[in-house]
Structure 1
Amino acid sequence: MNSSDWMPDVSHPWTRFALVIIIALVVAGLIHRVSDALLRRLALRHPMGASIVAKANTPLEAIVPLVMVLLAFRVAPDEPARLIDGLEHLLGVGLIGACTWFLVRCIGAVEATVSRFNPIDLEDNLRARRLQTQSRVLARTGMVVTVVLGIGVALMTFPAVRQFGASLLASAGIAGIAVGLAAKPVLGNLIAGIQIALTQPIRIDDVVIVEGEWGKVEEITSTYVVVKIWDERRMIVPLQYFIETPFQNWTRTSSQILGSVLLWFDYGLPLEPLRGELERICKGASEWDGRVMVMQVVDSNDKGMQIRALVSSSNSGKSFDLRCKVREGLIAFVRRESPAYLPRLRGDLESQVRGVEAAPVPFTAKRSGRVYGQG
């Protein structure tokens, strides 16, 4: 058998086209292999670069062959290129999608690197929470914008869509108003996300009071915030809420906080021993940070006086535990040392014969006195 019988006819357009595609794929593989090795070597000294290379490697495996195949279409013979023009357009749309995927993965890699090098599981995590909040909100916003732009560019490659867009521009006034009203919630949350990232009224792991509920900011997305309530429920709050509605942020500038304990006692209770007991409780509690320890009489009425113990802690969680310890310790101290000065209710009672109602006596013989009953 002659070797010319099985050798392909390179003069045929389709054969030349197939050879061009094969060469393009081989070159694409070599380019990807070499570029991947160079990028990994350059990223050894840069943690963010290493994260980007690791996350963007998969999209690059699609981008490089698509680019080379599209270049092969440009240099291919005219006859096959005309026959598979639809395939070229499909590959172009795929390239747009791969580039969008690549940009989204790069943005995610930057966010992951910032979060990894700024952990929030520390005692003083204010800077880390600020950086994580900025990176997370801006990354989510950037991903949304990138995906929307990628879809828009891909759609504009279709002639029918371009004509439809031109017809829409003719009635841009009414259409713009309608689209603006329809997209108001989306755009409002998008702008609110940028505001939160820049001004930071809230951050990741902030302690907030929202709708009367105490909780921590667990997650900030491009449209809503997840607040983890103390009993492990989750409250989903739109981003615009934190721009338009007042709320409490207990860790805006620092996690340190003052906690108060209010107790009612009788006027006869000596205060100095009680202050000494408060000092003993605080010094024995690991939750007390040593900044503030004050006891004052802050209110009074016809039944007794109200005492406030003011103590400080490094964060709100420790403050709650310390307040409970102080409340329990002071009550136990008064019950043990001065039980007569616990809150009582006063009443007037007339003398009665044991088991039998006493006979009426003249008013001057009546004896009125003050007795106490446990409140």
Structure 2
Amino acid sequence: MPFLAVTLAVAAGLVLSWLLRRIVLRLNRKRPELQATSRVARRPLQLALCLIGVRAALELTAGSETWHAAVDHLLLIALIGALAWLAVAVLLIIEAVVLTRHSVDVADNRRARRLRTQMILARRIAVALVVVLAVGSVMLTFPAIQALGAGLLASAGVISIVAGLAAQTSLVNVFAGMQLAFTDAIRVDDVVVVQKEWGRIEEITLTYVVVHVWDDRRLILPSTYFTTTPFENWTRRQSEVMGTVEFDLDWRAPVEEMRSELRRVLAGTDLWDERVGVLQITDATGGFVRVRILVSAADSAALFDLRCLIREAMIAYLQQGHPEALPHQRWEQAAPDAGSSVQRKAPLRGLGSPTAAGARPPADPHESQLFTGSIEAVERSRAFTGPGDDVFEDRDRHLASRN
């Protein structure tokens, strides 16, 4: 008798599950996204209805049996788990329906990305709460630990436990993740620069953030990084960005012709959003002139491609039409100075110098090349160039009289 009752209960649960799913889909037939996501809740719904039917059948047919209490306790624990599974599935369905109605595959998707980030984190928080409630409910089924289960389910108890655990380093990231979700600091698919790496926010969890770097690497950062460390968010308010292309060119660079070429390049590409497109000389020192081109694009990816396009087009334009504008290094060789030739110094001669008889020092003390350039130098030169001509004439007469 109990076996037959259990079989009928299981069959009734499966049929009721099928009917409920059909009714829900029929009422929401204008929402095709629900057709695909509803499969997530099929298994937990069937399990929950079957367990409810089995418990009712055993209560009616074997309520007085000795084994009924133990079996009913196991079925109750299984039912709690099935209901928790069903609640998680319902949360996944709600998340999928909401995200499908707010697609991020549009030009201006800032609001959709914000909603996506908040929905994902809210769903994860709700799943964590469902698990806590399920564990607490299971604990309440055991008389020996009912007090602990009641304390876990009580609101004050939950708040105190969460507050106590939040002081731990491992759970600080959980609160940081919640802060990121609801303060709008970053969103899924935001373009950021963190640790000198350019990439997009790929995933935001309660404990860490995944950044998809431009070269397909993944940078895993704790949630606290984005609440304690400065970083760049290029798409927080809007996706439109501006960027520069710079050239160091010769002073003969044709600025006006380059402006005309820039306008031609911008007009021929869809990467430019027509907001900003200017060419300016920002510096003219060190033998070069610095040409800066400022352009804008709809997003960072388009801006990168636009900058590369302008850089390539301008280089080709200058190489083909204005090679004189390319950077040059100039050297000038000064003409040789006639006064800089090396002159031989005259020997010093004095009264006691071992020179031949009749040899005389230069008449002009400047010829000695020892001291020149000022009156004081000439006077000092005379002190070192020996006696004058009259002394040498007297010496010559004296030598001639002796001979």
Which bin holds the TM-score, normalised by the shorter protein?
0.7 to 0.9
CA contact (8 A) 2:193 2:233 kept: yes
Which one of the candidate residues 175, 198, 208 is aligned to 2:182?
A: 198
**1:95 correspondence with 2:71:** no
Give the letter for the 1:362 counterpart: A
Give the letter for the 1:116 counterpart: T
Alignment match, 1:338: 322
Q: Per-residue CA shift, 1:16-36, capped at 9, x if unaligned?
A: x44544454344344334333
Q: How many aligned residue pairs are there?
A: 336
Which one of the candidate residues 207, 223, 228 is aligned to 1:223?
A: 207
Distance 1:361 1:255, change over 3 A: closer
Q: How high is the TM-score relative to the length of structure 1?
A: 0.79
Give the letter for the 1:260 counterpart: T
Q: Per-residue CA shift, 1:285-311, capped at 9, x if unaligned?
A: 221121111111112323222111001
Distance 1:187 1:87, change over 3 A: same
How many Å apart are 1:66 and its aligned residue? 0.9
Distance 1:332 1:200, change over 3 A: same
User: Distance between the aligned counterparts of 2:149 and 2:9, measured in 1?
Assistant: 35
**1:362 correspondence with 2:338:** yes
Higher relative contact order (CA 8 A, sep 6+): 1
Alignment match, 2:392: none
How many Å apart are 1:104 and its aligned residue? 0.7
Give the letter for the 2:236 counterpart: R
Range with bigger deviation, 89-98 or 36-45: 36-45
**1:138 correspondence with 2:114:** no
User: Distance between the aligned counterparts of 1:247 and 1:39, measured in 2?
Assistant: 46
CA contact (8 A) 1:56 1:102 kept: yes
Alignment match, 2:396: none
> Match of 2:251, SS?
coil
User: Distance between the aligned counterparts of 2:93 and 2:149, measured in 1?
Assistant: 35
User: Distance between the aligned counterparts of 1:167 and 1:234, measured in 2?
Assistant: 41
User: Distance between the aligned counterparts of 1:215 and 1:240, measured in 2?
Assistant: 18
CA contact (8 A) 1:288 1:313 kept: yes
CA contact (8 A) 1:39 1:53 kept: no
Which one of the candidate residues 218, 224, 248 is aligned to 1:234?
A: 218
**1:250 correspondence with 2:229:** no
**1:281 correspondence with 2:257:** no
Distance 1:87 1:318, change over 3 A: same
Indicate the RMSD between aligned Cα atoms, in angstroms: 3.0
**1:123 correspondence with 2:99:** no
Which one of the candidate residues 56, 67, 70 is aligned to 2:41?
A: 56
> Match of 2:28, SS?
helix
How many Å apart are 1:338 and its aligned residue? 2.9
Alignment match, 1:31: 16
Unpaired segments ≥5 residues, structure 2: 342-403
Unpaired segments ≥5 residues, structure 1: 1-14, 352-359, 366-375
Distance 1:322 1:252, change over 3 A: same
Range with bigger deviation, 19-28 or 55-64: 19-28
Percent identity reads 39
CA contact (8 A) 2:33 2:100 kept: no
User: Distance between the aligned counterparts of 2:137 and 2:280, measured in 1?
Assistant: 69
Alignment match, 1:214: 198
CA contact (8 A) 2:278 2:294 kept: yes
User: Distance between the aligned counterparts of 1:271 and 1:38, measured in 2?
Assistant: 72
Bigger share in strand: 1
Distance 1:130 1:47, change over 3 A: farther
CA contact (8 A) 2:139 2:148 kept: no
> Match of 2:330, SS?
strand
How many Å apart are 1:237 and its aligned residue? 1.7
CA contact (8 A) 2:175 2:206 kept: no
CA contact (8 A) 2:140 2:150 kept: no
Give the letter for the 2:331 counterpart: G
CA contact (8 A) 1:294 1:309 kept: yes
**1:43 correspondence with 2:19:** no
**1:294 correspondence with 2:275:** no
User: Distance between the aligned counterparts of 2:121 and 2:148, measured in 1?
Assistant: 34
